[in-house]
A and B are shown apart, each in its own frame.
Chain A
Amino acid sequence: MSMTRSSRLIASGIAVMLIVGGAMAFAIVWRPVIPAIDPPTPHAFDAALIKRGRDLAAIGNCNECHTVRGGKNFAGGLPVPTPFGTIYSSNITPDAETGIGQWSEAAFRRAMHDGVNRKGEHLYPTFPYDHFTHVSDEDDRALYAFLMTRQPVHAPARENQIFFPLNQRPVIAGWKLLFLRRDTYQPDAAKSAEWNRGAYLVAGLAHCGACHTPRNKLGAERVNAQFAGGDVDNWLAYALNDRSHAPVPWDADALYMYLRSGWHPDHGTARGPMAQVVSNLSSVPDSDVRAIAIYMADISGAPTPDRKREGEAALAQARSPSQASQTDLAGATIYAGACASCHETSRPLPYGGVNLALSTAVSSPDPRNLANVVLSGVSAVEGERSPIMPGFADSMNDTQMAALLNYLRARFSKQPAWTGVEKTVADARRAVTVYLQTSAGPRSAPADPTQRDKP
């Protein structure tokens, strides 16, 4: 989870203010050491508890941040760039020396709940304890059982590269004072059990808002803009609320299918950081995925009649593609030669190439995601059925790619033209390279190939 890339200047100005806040009371800052324990043996945990922990860890997407490409599971070391410097994820294997082997369950729960490590140090909120604080003790216990039964890996933490004064951990206590709302989830009696389950998971472990809610200058989620869309690793995490730009409005069924299998015929295929999320969700209990879908669909509200009509129009366009516009001949030609062989074969998703009239990336307020995908493509998941798209970074220069992107926007969306596309492409070129080198997760989601009778 990275924070918004905002200007370093503003950040440090506000940080000074934080120091003041942090200095206000020692009591706010200080946390006791929790005594070390001998790492528990794997047999100390109940198998059913471990299994539940495994599912919860998948919902929490823990492996995405705590495993690096080519590295050992949960051994940490993933660089997370933030406006304040680079923070490295920690080793959460039960290694006594470098992992959490000496952590008691209470220490683990405190980290989840308060963002404080066993030694009493405040953790950077790149570890999303602003969400994990809502996780129930029971679930923390299962997660603890799961992690403590993983293979211990000796992997010392990498030194964070944070600028002063944010490299002073007590500062974080000030941040928490401002932004951390510690409470366990309170069910809403007016709603169904399923809805409540979904709400609990979304607010807590699944930490959807960490990506999909915009952040303020201090890197905290903006409470009044929940799910209005956020940034992560140069991807735009789409708005999930009524500001969604999906050409066809989402409903619970569509969300469920998408989260479960990584794609939906009316919306496309999960890519970027979302690929890892859906890849993890493919193994968790069905009921949890459904609960998340039901909750999310409900809070984003039923689409307005206008929105519905737009959705139907997009579906109609997808079924009978409009003629290529004559205004942008270069873009049209590139599309015909490089894209149409997959995107216009009427072959169903996830292997046919999304019909671009249905693509959120094309209708999105900025062209970043589209640029990312066209540049780096979607690479095969080792040995698994998964969509493949070749990247075009090496065959198109920024101008050519901008021509293509502008053409796609004009032909396949109802939205106004983008500006500064060429610069976005250039920026994306740089960012994509970094992301591809570090994240261990799949860059596309494995998918079942049995769907056929879809548009």
Chain B
Amino acid sequence: MMTLKVNGREHQVDADPDTPLLYVLRDDIKLNAAKFGCGLGQCGSCAVIVDGTAVLSCVTPMILLEGKQVTTLEGLGSVSEPAPIQRAFIEEQAAQCGYCIPGMMMRAQALLLKNSKPTDAEIRAALEQHLCRCGTHMRILRAVRRAARLMETADAAATTNRSAQ
């Protein structure tokens, strides 16, 4: 039994410490967003955020996650209350089949947390480990740029709210 913190909640997980996080998220915690694409660290569809950084969950064994915070796409927002990155992908209609998209979004989210105004080159570099077969790349880039703007406004709004209180 191991304790794993996912999206702010603690889960007791019965998995060997060498089990890659991906399977624990999908099998034990029954989350959908992180996807199996290759299991080899080649495609990015399994990316989630651990302590603010995007990692490939298919090659991240549980032992590395002691005391860490895992965030998946589910933890960012929901259909009724989408996070800025989710709004951005909906507004740009940045998906075809969408299978690659959760991984892309987590990578982008991690980038934007560190760098709120990334250049196009920085966005591309960040997404380089991620494959999309449908060819949704142009829209994904647009959505990340839009998310940066939305997050900025959200931040600004949050600051205003705080100062108003």
Residues of A within 8 A of B (CB): 70, 330, 333-334, 336-338, 341-342, 377, 379-380, 388-390, 392, 394-396, 400
Which A residues lie within 8 Å of B58 (CB)?
341
Partner of A334, one of B19, B61, B129: B61
Partner of B56, one of A330, A333, A379, A390: A390
Q: List 24 A-B contacts (CB under 8 A).
A: A333-B17, A333-B63, A337-B17, A337-B19, A337-B59, A338-B61, A341-B20, A341-B40, A342-B41, A377-B41, A379-B128, A379-B129, A380-B42, A388-B42, A389-B41, A390-B56, A390-B59, A395-B50, A395-B53, A395-B55, A395-B56, A395-B60, A396-B64, A400-B64
Q: Are A333 and B61 in contact (CB under 8 A)?
A: yes
| Cβ distance A351 to chain B, nearest Cβ, rounded Å | 10
Q: Nearest 7 CB-CB pairs, A to B?
A: A337-B61, A390-B41, A337-B18, A336-B18, A395-B55, A394-B53, A333-B63
Q: Are B129 and A390 in contact (CB under 8 A)?
A: yes
Q: Are B59 and A341 in contact (CB under 8 A)?
A: yes
Main secondary structure of the interface of B (DSSP, over half): mixed
Give A429 to B64 CA distance when docked, in angstroms.
18
Give A336 to B15 CA distance when docked, in angstroms.
14
A379-B128, A390-B56 are known contacts. Are A333 and B41 too (CB-CB below 8 A)?
Answer: no
Closest to B50 in A: A395
Give A207 to B19 CA distance when docked, in angstroms.
46
Closest to B53 in A: A394
Q: Are B128 and A334 in contact (CB under 8 A)?
A: no
Which A residues lie within 8 Å of B62 (CB)?
337
| Cβ distance B115 to chain A, nearest Cβ, rounded Å | 14
Given contacts A333-B18, A334-B18, 15 further A-B contacts (CB under 8 A): A333-B17, A337-B17, A337-B64, A338-B20, A338-B61, A338-B64, A341-B40, A390-B41, A390-B42, A390-B56, A394-B55, A395-B53, A395-B56, A396-B64, A400-B64
Which A residues lie within 8 Å of B55 (CB)?
394-395
Closest to B20 in A: A337
Give A423 to B56 CA distance when docked, in angstroms.
25
Closest to A394 in B: B53
Closest to B63 in A: A333
Which A residues lie within 8 Å of B37 (CB)?
none
Give A337 to B63 CA distance when docked, in angstroms.
9
Give A341 to B23 CA distance when docked, in angstroms.
14
| Cβ distance B129 to chain A, nearest Cβ, rounded Å | 7
Give A389 to B38 CA distance when docked, in angstroms.
12
Q: Is there a chain A Cβ closer than 8 Å to B105's Cβ?
A: no
| Cβ distance A157 to chain B, nearest Cβ, rounded Å | 24
Q: Which of A338, A392, A395 has the most CB of B within 10 A?
A: A395
Q: Is there a chain A Cβ closer than 8 Å to B148's Cβ?
A: no
How many residues belonging to B are interface residues under a CB distance threshold of 8 Å? 23
Q: Is there a chain A Cβ closer than 8 Å to B4's Cβ?
A: no
Which B residues lie within 8 Å of A337 (CB)?
17-20, 59-64
Partner of B64, one of A334, A379, A389, A390: A334
Which A residues lie within 8 Å of B121 (CB)?
70
Q: Are B60 and A338 in contact (CB under 8 A)?
A: yes
Closest to A336 in B: B18
Q: Which of A337, A341, A389 has the most CB of B within 10 A?
A: A337
Q: Which of B40, B64, B128 has the most CB of A within 10 A?
A: B64
Which A residues lie within 8 Å of B39 (CB)?
341
Q: Is there a chain A Cβ closer than 8 Å to B123's Cβ?
A: no
Q: Are A342 and B61 in contact (CB under 8 A)?
A: no
Partner of A342, one of B17, B40, B50, B53: B40
Which B residues lie within 8 Å of A390 (CB)?
41-42, 56, 59, 129
Give A287 to B56 CA distance when docked, in angstroms.
43
Which A residues lie within 8 Å of B60 (CB)?
337-338, 395
Interface residues of B in 57-88 (CB under 8 A from A): 58-64
Give A395 to B60 CA distance when docked, in angstroms.
7
Partner of A388, one of B19, B41, B61: B41
Partner of A338, one of B42, B53, B54, B59: B59
| Cβ distance B37 to chain A, nearest Cβ, rounded Å | 12
Give A389 to B40 CA distance when docked, in angstroms.
8
Which B residues lie within 8 Å of A333 (CB)?
17-18, 61, 63
Q: Are A330 and B42 in contact (CB under 8 A)?
A: no
Give A305 to B54 CA distance when docked, in angstroms.
49
A388-B41, A394-B55, A395-B50 are known contacts. Are A336 and B128 too (CB-CB below 8 A)?
Answer: no
Give A246 to B39 CA distance when docked, in angstroms.
30
Closest to A437 in B: B125
Give A69 to B39 CA distance when docked, in angstroms.
30
Q: Are A394 and B54 in contact (CB under 8 A)?
A: yes
Which B residues lie within 8 Å of A394 (CB)?
50, 53-55
Give A153 to B62 CA distance when docked, in angstroms.
51
Closest to B58 in A: A341
Which A residues lie within 8 Å of B20 (CB)?
337-338, 341
Closest to A338 in B: B59
Chain B 13-33, CB-CB to A under 8 Å as 1, else 0, gives 000011110000000000000
Q: Are B129 and A395 in contact (CB under 8 A)?
A: no
Which A residues lie within 8 Å of B56 (CB)?
390, 395
| Cβ distance A377 to chain B, nearest Cβ, rounded Å | 8
Give A394 to B121 CA distance when docked, in angstroms.
20
Give A333 to B55 CA distance when docked, in angstroms.
18
Closest to A400 in B: B64
Give A432 to B93 CA distance when docked, in angstroms.
37
A341-B40, A379-B128 are known contacts. Are A334 and B59 too (CB-CB below 8 A)?
Answer: no
Give A330 to B62 CA distance when docked, in angstroms.
11
| Cβ distance B58 to chain A, nearest Cβ, rounded Å | 8
